[in-house]
Amino acid sequence: MATSQQVETIGSGADKVKLAVAVVLLLAGLAAYYMLGKQGALAQWAGLLAGVVVAVAVFATAEPGRQLIAFGRDAWREIGKVVWPARSEAIQMTAYVFGFVVLMALFLWLTDKTLEWVFYDLILGWKK
């Protein structure tokens, strides 16, 4: 049985226009950066920054922008709910990871040397 999937699209025509304006402003800021090359680095970066800031402001007024901001707020709220380990627990877990890595390195090295000895010395007879 096929399940129906919801696809979110841009709802209103005003949101489409806002997103198009945001893209144009972003491209205008990028073009300003290159066109102001002879004016100096400060003018270049000011033009780029102005274009990006205005484009982000226009994007934030559209529905997808508001949804992105709401998602960021929800994500920040969820991060606040995380129970972080104490310093001693974090150090202990880090030590376990390093110990495991050292043991695995030794195991893989011993396995490699054993297989090398079996194949090259015993089976093929290629003494070093």
pLDDT of residue 128: 59
pLDDT of residue 13: 85
Residue spans of the chain under pLDDT 70: 1-11, 127-128
pLDDT of residue 123: 84
pLDDT of residue 114: 95
Q: Which of 68, 63, 61, 55 is nearest to 11 (CA)?
A: 63
pLDDT of residue 14: 87
- The pLDDT tens digits of the residues spanning 21-43 come to 999 999 999 999 999 989 999 99
Task: Please state the domain extents for the chain.
Answer: 13-83, 85-128
Number of Cβ within 10 Å of residue 24's Cβ equals 13
Number of Cβ within 10 Å of residue 22's Cβ equals 21
pLDDT of residue 122: 83
pLDDT of residue 48: 94
